Amino acid sequence: MVFLTRILHRAPTARKRGFVDKLRVYVRGGSGGMGLPKHNGRGGDGGHVIFVAKEDMTLKQVIDATPNKRFIAGIGAHATRRAIQGDKGPNLRVEVPTGISVLTDTKQVIGNLNQPGDQVVVAKGGQGGAHWSDFLPKKGQIRSVTMELKLISDIGLVGFPNAGKSTLLKAVSSADPKIADYPFTTMRPQIGIMQYEDLRRVSLADLPGLIEGAHNNAGMGHHFLRHVERTKLLLFMVDVHGFILSMKHPHRTAFQTVALLMKELELYKSDLVDKPTVLAINKMDIQGAEEKAEELLYKLNHFEDAVTELPKDMRPKRRVEFEDIFQISAKEKQGLNELKGKVRVILDEALEEEQEKEKKQAIRRIQKESSYGKTVERRVDII
Ligand SMILES: Nc1nc2c(ncn2[C@@H]2O[C@H](COP(=O)(O)OP(=O)(O)OP(=O)(O)O)[C@@H](O)[C@H]2O)c(=O)[nH]1
Ligand SMILES: [Mg+2]
């Protein structure tokens, strides 16, 4: 009962609080200071607005710190008789989350802040007045910029709530996500890095749980699937014992949750179904897991028949073909080395394919350019 009370208490809160992954703000560089004609004095330059990436920060915290979403840097000091050169206006340094792109309203990228400490000037300060400007200062740059959180990770974890996604992330990386025995514990995506012995690093994104009807905004909604669009591999994760959201909802077996995940993916963007995908069957340490895992594997092998358990509109049109299936216990760290190893092989193969494709494209480009070069030469000859 405690469990259910917590679910019912928790789910709506999760939905209400939401997650900000895009934020448009006003930024203005400081104006320059006035020059002083009589003494050939120069006004100080205005300060810049600078975004600085900070670890573990959210866009929500940016809004909380500055609810009016206006960032204005300091103005340069006027030149005076005592200070012929006016002081520069102070820069305004704004802490923003790591992993954002900063874009103009015309979608031009001003900068990508990928590492903590990365910084970008988003609005330049105006120059101070000097003889070349008739001692009149320039205004600072004014614009609206959008911060867009983009998760670029190699692997995206997709699963129902409580499947153990965050437990897996914690077990294989140094990330420290919140883990709890109620659904929707993870409210926003989080990335962890798996490091291999040869120092190869693979990133893994833990996403909030999906449930049936997610495309209709059930649970945390579809929103987060945006972040798996660019991943190279999807890792489906299921609790071998299935899932139940509350007493009002039907219990879904592991097979049904897998089929429902496929359906939600398909409804979000049908080509996601073609992404390389592996399946991790979790919680194999709990009694009775073996038989349930066997049943799941059997049903996956007889997918067309088994999927008729679900109402027609919940059946995926096309099934996801898993590259590999693992039986693990994220909590007891069983089967994780094998999972890590195979996942890497798949990723390395995908990388090789990508490089091969890029190489071919580059060769084609060079061939095109060189044939263009010849034409130009010939034309020159004629002239
Ligand atoms: N017995 C057992 N329990 C597990 C295992 N993996 C996770 N759990 C437990 O299952 C519960 C849910 O784990 P989480 O890692 O928070 O699940 P999640 O998929 O991230 O859930 P959401 O963030 O709500 O989507 C926790 O109580 C975990 O301790 C496992 O392999 N075995
Ligand atoms: Mg979680």
Assign 41 to helix, strand or coil.
Answer: strand
Query: pLDDT for 202-215, tens place per residue?
Result: 999 998 888 887 77
Query: pLDDT for 37-47, tens place per residue?
Result: 999 999 999 99
What residues line ligand 1, using a CB cutoff of 6 Å? 159, 161-167, 179-181, 183-186, 208-209, 282-283, 285-286, 329-331
Q: Which residues contact 160 (CB under 8 A, 6 or more apart)?
A: 183, 209, 210, 211, 238, 239, 243, 252, 257, 260, 261
Of 162-171, 209-218, 358-367, which range is least confident? Answer: 209-218
pLDDT in the model for residue 270: 85
Mean pLDDT on 212-234: 76
Query: pLDDT for 71-100, tens place per residue?
Result: 999 999 999 999 999 999 999 999 999 888
The span from the CA of 148 to the CA of 165, in Å, is: 24
pLDDT in the model for residue 221: 64
Mean pLDDT on 340-362: 89
Q: Using alpha carbons, list the distances in angstroms from residue 271 to 203, 275, 319, 320, 346.
A: 22, 7, 12, 10, 19
Domains 20-149 and 155-348 in one fold: no
Q: What is the chain's length?
A: 383
Domain 155-348 classified CATH 3.40.50.300? yes
**CATH class given for the domain over 20-149:** mainly beta
On average, the pLDDT of the chain sits at 87
Pocket residue to mutate for ligand 1, from 157, 165, 167, 188, most atoms within 8 A of Cβ: 167
Mean pLDDT on 346-357: 88
**What is the number of the ligand 1 atom nearest to the C-alpha of 183?**
24
The span from the CA of 231 to the CA of 156, in Å, is: 6
pLDDT in the model for residue 215: 75
Per-domain boundaries in the chain: 20-149, 155-348
pLDDT in the model for residue 373: 53
Quick one: which of 319, 167, 163, 324 has its CA closest to 245?
A: 163
In the chain, at which residue ranges do the beta strands (DSSP E only) sit?
22-28, 49-54, 70-72, 92-97, 100-103, 109-113, 119-123, 142-149, 155-159, 190-195, 201-206, 233-239, 277-282, 322-327
pLDDT-based confidence at residue 1 (cuts at 50, 70, 90): very low
DSSP for 151-172, written as a single string: ---SEEEEE-TTSSHHHHHHHH
Quick one: which of 286, 283, 149, 163 has its CA closest to 219?
A: 163
50 bridge partner residues: 93, 121
pLDDT in the model for residue 380: 41
Mean pLDDT on 213-218: 74
pLDDT in the model for residue 305: 94
Look at residue 11 and tell me whether its pLDDT is greater than 70: no
Which ligand has its closest atom nearest to the C-alpha of 168? 1
Mean pLDDT on 360-370: 83
pLDDT in the model for residue 58: 87
Of 9-13, 20-24, 249-253, 265-269, which range is least confident? Answer: 9-13
Which ligand has its closest atom nearest to the C-alpha of 179? 1
Q: What percent of the chain has pLDDT over 70?
A: 90
pLDDT in the model for residue 377: 44
The CA 280 to ligand 1 mean position distance, Å, reads: 13
Compute the C-alpha angle 161/318/347, nearest 5°. Answer: 65
Mean pLDDT on 182-198: 84
pLDDT in the model for residue 249: 83
